[in-house]
Amino acid sequence: MYLKTNKEKYNIVVANTFSKRLIGLMGKTNIDYGLLLPNCNSIHTYFMKENIDIIGLDENNEVIYKYENLDKNRLIKIKNDHKKTSILEMPANSTKKIALGTTLIFNED
């Protein structure tokens, strides 16, 4: 699956297993893809080597939260009324043109 943003095409990996969710982007360098964490409303950036962008999505993939260039060693929790929140972790500064309220469309390969 992929997402087009800022004239760039990013592959999106879905963290749909325990190990993918546990490891996430920890220890990764030169991040050039996104990681989608379904049914998730909090993440941490402990043991990260690079800053990342965070997008919180509701059940319709509408952007309800956004944080650009999130530093290492931080904890983020999205407080909202949506029960099916997902989080998309992206490379730092890759989401500048994505605004709150935008519906993201993920395309299949």
Residues 30-77 pLDDT 10s = 999 999 999 998 999 999 999 999 999 999 999 999 999 999 999 998
Average pLDDT score, the chain: 91
Considering the entire predicted model, what is its pTM?
0.92
CA 55 vs. chain centroid, Å, equals 5
Six-digit token string for 41: 């409303």
- Residues 28 and 49: their CA atoms lie apart, in Å, by 6
% of the chain residues with pLDDT over 70:
95
Query: Rounded distance, CA 22 to CA 15, Å?
Result: 9
Which of the following CATH numbers is that of domain 2-91: 2.60.120.1140, 3.40.50.970, 3.60.20.10, 3.40.50.1400? 2.60.120.1140
Q: What's 38-84 look like in SS3?
A: CCCCEEECCCCCCCEEEEEECCCCEEEEEEEEECCCCEEECCCCCCC
